[in-house]
Structure 1
Amino acid sequence: MLMADSSKEEFLQLIKRLTLKISNIIDSHSIGAVAGLAIAIFFTWRLLRSPGEPQPRQRKRQTTTSSNPGVSTHSNASVVPSGVRSPSGDSRAQNVVDELFQPVKPTLGQIVRQKLNEGRKVTCRLLGVILEETSPEELQKQVTVKSTVLEVLLEITKFCDLYLMERVLDDESEKRVLVALEDAGVFTSGGLVKDKVLFCSTEIGRSSFVRQLEPDWHIDSNPEIISQLARFIKYQLHVSPFRTERTAANVFSAPSLEQFFGST
């Protein structure tokens, strides 16, 4: 009976802990986790019961009587008072609850989808966002793709129609950009093709590209372009190494594309 009372007490303590955990889950509208509560309680109860299951009764050994008839022998087994909870059972219940409700870290793909609010079309400039270079003049000498942005870029291409665009001063710069993107593996995932890398000779031309494509998101490092497009595009991300004031409710800012998605 003592063991049964102890198991019941452990189960009650488990229910209390699960209640506290599940209240947080309900607040965050995690219906799937709530639906699994019954299963969690069942298996947790099984885990708690297994160490404390009663062992088969052993035949009582006869105790030898003392030569002194006034002295009786006692068993060395300790008796646990009823109503006293086992500290080991308490700790075991807490450990099981903690393991069942370990927070699951979201994947980068999940973060990207959440941040983009399930947007399906994205336009993004190259200079200062995808490339290390920040001006068209630099592209006449070299083109360097940021290694830190590649993982995020490839995640975006998995579920978004992505267009990259930039202003260039000559055809050679255009070729350098395409070669650099290809060498970095941007076109290997199948989500982005060379035809979706657009070039123009003016900033107005780039702004016109964005308006024609009507994306859910536009990503740019030029504050003037961001300002001009704010009333036409649903969401925008202004990439700038300097802290900037929020110009509109639909305009977000971050030091880099990868930092916006928390991948660095």
Structure 2
Amino acid sequence: MAESSSSYKEELIRLIKRLGTYLALKMSNLFPISLNKLDPRSVGAVAGLAVAIVFTYRLMQSPGEPQRRQLKRQAPTTSSSGVSTQSNMTLMPSAFCSSLEDLRAQNVVDEFLQPVKPTLRQIVRQKLSEGRKITCRLLGVVLEESSPEELQKQATVRSSALEVLLEITKFCDLYLMERVFKDESEKNILLALENAGIFTAGGLVKDKVLFCSTENGRTSFVRQLEPDWHIDTNPEIVSQLARFIKFQLHISPVRPERSAANVFSSPSLEHFFGCS
């Protein structure tokens, strides 16, 4: 029992040393700072991190103990087999054990340093280049409908685009706009947006949902608001606004030729932000 405890401690010490060496190499690659220039407090922090990783690794490995004991009980009892096994363990090169310990330490550190998957909020901020004002048409982007005639009967918010839209409203000044023919269309749109929770969960207010009777009217809205981004499905409007708007997102099922360096294209709003 004492020999097993001593062997465990020696193995743990060796693993800590090798882990510290590998971790120091990793940190030096990540940060252009010489380890010789670190003060004792910084060195202690690195060592503490190494010890924490080792003990976490040990805890994760602990469920394997019963299995090892079970395998030991099932081992053959013949004297010749026991002698052969013992001789094989004795003849195992120390260099092989050393390489296994290096590999274990490397795997622990690599797993610990894996990049964290960004959240949707981080992706939206990055994609929009921290833009603070966004204008966006409704048909074909936020709504399922694709023509003003359909809006006279109903308006349906696209559930796949809703999550992205709510994230945009949390840090952007968002304006939604659409061409409509009758007052019933306006009522249908506002009711659909309200039922989707955009006016409550997000930062959008009804006064920022704008309506016009022509496509040129939407162009005028965008020119007056001067947003950082405009999102639209009409290629003519996108082309006209390319000189005046910093960035544009052209929503189109078929990828069009890029009309300008500041115009991006995507089959849908959520696809542009990697949500589909």
Q: Would you call these one fold, judging by a TM-score over 0.5?
A: yes
Counterpart in the other structure of 2:243: 231
- Of the three residues 191, 198, 201, the one matched with 1:179 is 191
- Closer/same/farther in 2, CA of residues 199 and 46 from structure 1, 3 Å limit: closer
The Cα of 1:140 is off from its aligned counterpart by 1.2
- Of the three residues 139, 163, 183, the one matched with 1:127 is 139
**Cα distance per residue 1:63-120 (max 9 Å; x no partner):** xxxxxxxxxxxxx996998766445533431232023202200000000000000000
**Cα distance per residue 1:181-221 (max 9 Å; x no partner):** 11111111240011000000011110000010000000000
Asked whether the equivalents of residues 221 and 239 of structure 1 are also in contact (C-alpha less than 8 Å), the reply is yes
Q: What is the distance in 2 between the residues matched to 1:132 and 1:47? A: 50
Secondary structure of the structure 1 residue equivalent to 2:227: coil
- Closer/same/farther in 2, CA of residues 187 and 99 from structure 1, 3 Å limit: same
- Of the three residues 104, 111, 119, the one matched with 1:92 is 104
Q: Does 1:159 align with 2:165?
A: no
Q: Does 1:242 align with 2:248?
A: no
Identical aligned residues as a percent? 63
Counterpart in the other structure of 1:44: 50
TM-score for both structures, normalised by structure 2: 0.73
Counterpart in the other structure of 2:271: 259
Asked whether the equivalents of residues 15 and 101 of structure 2 are also in contact (C-alpha less than 8 Å), the reply is no
**Cα distance per residue 1:16-69 (max 9 Å; x no partner):** 46535763x459xxxxxxxx9973443214654997xxxxxxxxxxxxxxxxxx
Counterpart in the other structure of 1:19: 25
Q: What is the distance in 2 between the residues matched to 1:4 and 1:142? A: 73
Q: What is the distance in 2 between the residues matched to 1:174 and 1:135? A: 13
**Cα distance per residue 1:144-172 (max 9 Å; x no partner):** 11010000000000000000000000111
Secondary structure of the structure 2 residue equivalent to 1:43: helix
Decide which structure has the larger Cα Rg and report it.
Answer: 1
- Closer/same/farther in 2, CA of residues 46 and 20 from structure 1, 3 Å limit: closer
Q: What's the Cα RMSD here?
A: 3.2
The residue identity in structure 1 corresponding to 2:146 is T
The Cα of 1:143 is off from its aligned counterpart by 1.1
The Cα of 1:175 is off from its aligned counterpart by 0.6
The residue identity in structure 2 corresponding to 1:214 is E
Q: Which has the higher helix share?
A: 2
Secondary structure of the structure 1 residue equivalent to 2:144: coil
Q: What is the distance in 2 between the residues matched to 1:6 and 1:180? A: 62
Secondary structure of the structure 1 residue equivalent to 2:164: helix
The Cα of 1:7 is off from its aligned counterpart by 4.3
The residue identity in structure 2 corresponding to 1:183 is N
Q: What is the distance in 2 between the residues matched to 1:119 and 1:171? A: 32
Report the number of matched residues: 230
Q: How does 1:72-87 map to 2 (within 5 A)?
A: 85-86=97-98
The residue identity in structure 2 corresponding to 1:19 is L
